[in-house]
Structure 1
Amino acid sequence: MSNVEHVTFKNRDMYWEIAADIYYPPNFDESKQYPAIVVAHPIGSCKEQTSGEVYSAQLAEQGFVALAFDASFQGESGGEPRFTEDPSLRVEDFRHVADYLVTLSYVDAGRIGLIGICGGGGYAINAAMTERRYKAIATITGANYGRVLRETEGSAEAVIAKLEEIAAQRTAEAQGADWQVDGGLPESTEQAKELGITDVDILGATEYYKTTRGAKPNGLNKTLRSHMGTAYGWDAFHLAEELLTQPLLVVVGDIQGGFGAYRDGYEIVRRARSTKKELTVVKGWSHYDLYDKDEPVAQAMSKLTPFFTENL
């Protein structure tokens, strides 16, 4: 069997298929059982970017079966309308991925771990609280998407105004108007600078997604405006004090930007009920450096490998 296999499997509740890439360890033997790790991509990303070609590939080299999947409505996965970013549906994806993994003879169903990157980190935290098949959880520069959206608006009044806009767009589409798909980033780093953008996270995202560094055909960083309402009212960390009990590893960079992953990292480690939990701060590196740059990724992997080896 090749080192990477492309698979699809049914989202059994919603009737479309989820697309994923499975990364196998060296000398993989299908007659044996392996611990498996699911890796969730950032918001607006796809399985061919950091979740797959960086972290899943390196985890496989360390002896794990690693699965990177495209979220429903995005990438090569099914679901309409496209570019829907609904946290409740994103969380359900993790259940369907677990459903698939436990059918594979070479996966030890009692040793499945979970990693989420950026917004995928918030989704992973939220999913793990109620999807107990995930036995150990890690986030890489994980962010609470609902909090990011609300902070971006700046006030409760501004959030309510945004929700009114979303409602109006949804009504228009129900009455026959075209979908309104919003781009999440400037079209280039040059445009970002012309617009006076100085935030390290937005600049980092633009460089990653809009240049050859990280650009992939399905990593489009787009969202469907009319289906954003749920996200504005969502909190990834709700009930973490009660329900998040699995071993937890949180990795963040110490160069802080507007997406707030550094603060979210400290918050979830403080709030999680987990008795085994660790925060690793990668000094001198930012949110998007942890996506693919050799040194910060190596530092993250130096924590991920022993964490999952011990806890799966």
Structure 2
Amino acid sequence: MQSVRFKNRTWDVAADLRLPEGFDRTKKYPAIICAHPISSCKDQTSGSIYAERLTELGFVTLAFDASHQGESGGEPRYLEDPATRVEDFRCAVDHLMTLDYVDEDRIGVLGICGGGGYAANAAMTDHRIKALGTVVAANYGRIMREGGALATLEAIGKQRTAEARGADPLVTTFIPDSPEELAQAGATDVDTVNAVEYYRTPRAQSPNSPNKLRFSGLEAAVGFDAFHLAEVLLTQPVQIVVGDVPGAFGSYRDGFELFNRARSEKKDILVIEGASHYDLYDQPKYVDQALEKLGSFFKDTL
């Protein structure tokens, strides 16, 4: 594994480049860009699980930290901006195009959770991407619009005004910051409970995934639809993976929406029995099934 940097606008995006065993620089390899969930980082499921396993199957992989997050540059920090997240993919493709051992006609993307929604959106307008895989893809804009979008926009506007007048930025959290906070909140939804177990305990906790979100930067997310124009522009082969245990984050229904809307002639959805959203991040029983399907999909399409 090599630590690399590539540009998005004026800042560096941090990424891990993995090369398959027996790598020969004189040969051409298919490559897969791996994108992490919202609030996550390349050190967690997208890199250490999915990119690692796809590299073992013979692919060059590039797992990156989103701009404004993790080890990547970009100010302000902790910003979740859909347009920038999508541009990260295009810049990742640009970087792969500079590597003489990457076959420019065999580049795919794999996105997990919110990274899957962003990956689908990027594939629509960057057709250098030849195949799209998603695991529990979530449409972040849909999530933001549920549960009072207009009230959220009012609150964001007030916070932006306060910051324009000199107030400190409001940095909030995506989820309860500890199992103790989760218990105090009384949350019982499987996605919320498992998110805290994944991100805020030794199961997968990382300093590059600090559970911080800049509240005043969220207007664009409220108006974002990751699947907008999929029925017109998404023509590449698509492999979607979801679990059949639905939770509040909605990846089960988002997976079927993407499947139904994609214009792609070659598209498939795998529903993994007994798997919740976060089971497909790191639980071998379910991840193995996802990777068996994704591995054969990318070998067939790249």
Residue 39 in structure 1 maps to residue 29 in structure 2: no
Counterpart of 2:85 in structure 1 is 90
Inter-partner Cα distance in structure 1 for 2:257 and 2:7: 35
Inter-partner Cα distance in structure 2 for 1:221 and 1:159: 21
For 1:16-31, list aligned pairs within 5 A: 16-31=11-26
For 1:251-262, list aligned pairs within 5 A: 251-262=241-252
Contact 2:134 2:240 in 1 (8 A): yes
Residue identity opposite 1:23 in structure 2: R
Counterpart of 2:71 in structure 1 is 76
Which residue of 6, 16, 34 corresponds with 1:9?
6
Residue 276 in structure 1 maps to residue 266 in structure 2: yes
Inter-partner Cα distance in structure 2 for 1:71 and 1:116: 12
Residue 113 in structure 1 maps to residue 108 in structure 2: yes
Counterpart of 2:44 in structure 1 is 49
Inter-partner Cα distance in structure 1 for 2:13 and 2:218: 21
Inter-partner Cα distance in structure 2 for 1:72 and 1:64: 24
3-state SS in 1 of match to 2:273: strand
3-state SS in 1 of match to 2:130: strand
CA RMSD of aligned residues (A): 0.8
Counterpart of 1:223 in structure 2 is 213
3-state SS in 2 of match to 1:93: helix
Among all aligned residue pairs of Structure 1 and Structure 2, give the percentage whose two residues are the same amino acid: 58
Residue 127 in structure 1 maps to residue 122 in structure 2: yes
Residue identity opposite 2:239 in structure 1: L
Which residue of 62, 65, 68 corresponds with 2:57?
62
User: Which structure 1 residue ranges, 5 or more long, are not aligned?
Assistant: none
3-state SS in 2 of match to 1:20: strand
Contact 2:19 2:59 in 1 (8 A): yes
What is the deviation of 1:164?
Answer: 1.2
Inter-partner Cα distance in structure 2 for 1:237 and 1:89: 16
What is the deviation of 1:267?
Answer: 0.9
Residue 187 in structure 1 maps to residue 174 in structure 2: no
Inter-partner Cα distance in structure 1 for 2:205 and 2:217: 25
Inter-partner Cα distance in structure 2 for 1:196 and 1:218: 27
Which residue of 196, 208, 222 corresponds with 1:206?
196
1:12-64 Cα deviation digits (max 9, x unpaired): xx200110001111111112110000000000100000000000000000000
Residue identity opposite 2:22 in structure 1: N
Contact 1:85 1:227 in 2 (8 A): yes
3-state SS in 2 of match to 1:166: helix
Number of corresponding residues? 302
What is the deviation of 1:168?
Answer: 1.2
Residue identity opposite 2:280 in structure 1: L
Counterpart of 1:166 in structure 2 is 156
Inter-partner Cα distance in structure 1 for 2:131 and 2:277: 22
Contact 2:244 2:252 in 1 (8 A): yes
What is the deviation of 1:191?
Answer: 2.9
1:220-269 Cα deviation digits (max 9, x unpaired): 22211110000001111111111111000000000110000000111111
Residue identity opposite 1:7 in structure 2: V
Q: TM-score, normalised by structure 2?
A: 0.98
What is the deviation of 1:187?
Answer: 2.2
Inter-partner Cα distance in structure 2 for 1:88 and 1:293: 31
1:86-126 Cα deviation digits (max 9, x unpaired): 10111111111111000001111110000010000000011
Contact 2:177 2:211 in 1 (8 A): no
1:185-241 Cα deviation digits (max 9, x unpaired): 112224313321110000010000001111011012221111000000111111111
Inter-partner Cα distance in structure 1 for 2:183 and 2:190: 11
Contact 2:66 2:72 in 1 (8 A): yes
1:127-157 Cα deviation digits (max 9, x unpaired): 1100111100010000000001111x2xxxx
Inter-partner Cα distance in structure 2 for 1:251 and 1:289: 12
Counterpart of 2:300 in structure 1 is 310
Contact 1:43 1:221 in 2 (8 A): no
Which residue of 143, 153, 178 corresponds with 2:168?
178
User: Which structure 2 residue ranges, 5 or more long, are not aligned?
Assistant: none
3-state SS in 2 of match to 1:17: strand
Counterpart of 1:196 in structure 2 is 186
Inter-partner Cα distance in structure 2 for 1:91 and 1:10: 14
Residue identity opposite 1:75 in structure 2: G
